[in-house]
Amino acid sequence: MKNLVRPLVAISLVFLTLAGCGLLPQPAPTAAPQPTATESAPPTAAPEPTTEESAPTAEPAPVAPFHAGFDYNGDARSDIVLFTKNGWQAALSSGAGFDAPSSGPWTANLGMWGEIPFAGDFDGDGKTDIAVLNWNGEFWVGLSTGSSFDAEGSGLWASPAGLWGGIPLSGDFDGDGRDDVLVFTEKDGLRVGLSTGRSFDAPGSGRWNTPAGLWSEQPFTGDFNGDGKDDMAVLNWQGQVWVGISSGAAFDAAGGGQWAVKEAPWGGMPLSGDFNGDSKTDLVVFTPENKWKVNLSSGTSFDAEGSGDWNSAAGLWGELPTAGDFNGDGRADIALLNGNSEWWLGLSSGASFDASGSGRWQSAAGAWCDVPLNAADFWRFDHLTPNMQNLWEGRFRLSGCGQ
């Protein structure tokens, strides 16, 4: 033990000597003791900002703009545009009627009666445009200015997807913010034309695989799983719904196939839209019994909570139904054009089509025999089985109208 003490004492004396000569680093001064309650406290310096206080806060991520669909003037409410024998008519929504300013005839340098019209935001500017597929398998596009369909870029758009006899449907299938075209064909599968903003021939255009879709089934589109890319689906004669989920290059991504439904009877008219406002496209089937069979998407099926028969302030079998967010509240509604050229609305509450504001809406456009672009496509479904053709010929192809 003594042997250990002596060296330690010697080392201590050396350190004391060096410290006295200033040869060792001095310890940092300690903070002054805080005054006691009886002492007067000297003024203290302002506290240094903490890391959280001094670091600049990040700007919140921008929220993607809401797109109502079929919004021809870009005001976040769905409108009605009709293809007529005398040109194009716009019925713009005010939220309580189809008579907002700029409603009426819209100029367009396309569209001959008998060509197949459809609509979508093909240049991605937030305003819905129009297009037709003609007998030559060509697509002619009219880009919206908000008051006409003759904006710069309108005209013939190149595409590998055009085929006369097929059924053109629109949707943003690759998720780039521009709507594309899908042609559902009898013998050539699904032909997709991806939009560049000036044509339907962007890389990735061509035939897309899918587990869904046989000729004579009823196709529709929408973002059924809410991933930002529109998908395709068909309702078949067994009341089943088969879905093709988009990967951005095909309709065969994981999650596709047969989806369970609450009730989707064959013989009704399927319409798609986000009826409960959860950013996933749902399915509603309007039936000959004047029922609205709503099948809400869970992202993997059409039987989410809230599915079933929804009450409605509008809808008699034989009227022409359409869907869109006509009051701009984020939920898709229904509208029907009747034989008296009247529009009747069923606004969605998220659980029914009878929310406040439902009923007859005044309109500046829309006559029986006109073709609303966001209507179900039965007026041109020549591929339906004979009994279905007879049904739609009498009900929706409107014999005597020349359609």
CA distances from 17 to 10, 12, 27 (A): 11, 9, 16
pLDDT for 340 beyond 80 = yes
For residue 6, pLDDT over 90 is answered with no
The closest of 294, 330, 326, 329 to 311, measured between CA atoms, is 294
Predicted pLDDT of residue 391: 39
Distance CA 18, CA 11 (A): 11
Alpha helix (H) ranges present in 171-290? none
C-beta separation of 199 from 160 below 8 A: no
Q: What is the mean pLDDT of residues 215-238?
A: 95
Amino acid at 42: P
pLDDT of residue 27: 46
Q: What is the pLDDT of residue 8?
A: 37
Rg of the chain taking only CA atoms, in angstroms: 33
pTM score, whole prediction: 0.81
Residue 12 pLDDT: 43
Would you state the pLDDT for residue 339?
85
Summarize pLDDT for 35-65 with one digit per residue, the tens: 444 444 444 444 444 444 444 444 433 333 4
- The model's confidence at residue 21, banded by pLDDT at 50, 70 and 90, is very low
The arithmetic mean of pLDDT across residues 228-232, rounded, is 98
Looking at every residue in the chain, the average pLDDT score rounds to 83
For tokens 């950013």, name the residue: 279
The 10s digit of each residue's pLDDT in 319-338 is 889 999 999 999 999 999 98
| pLDDT-derived band at 293, boundaries 50, 70, 90 | very high
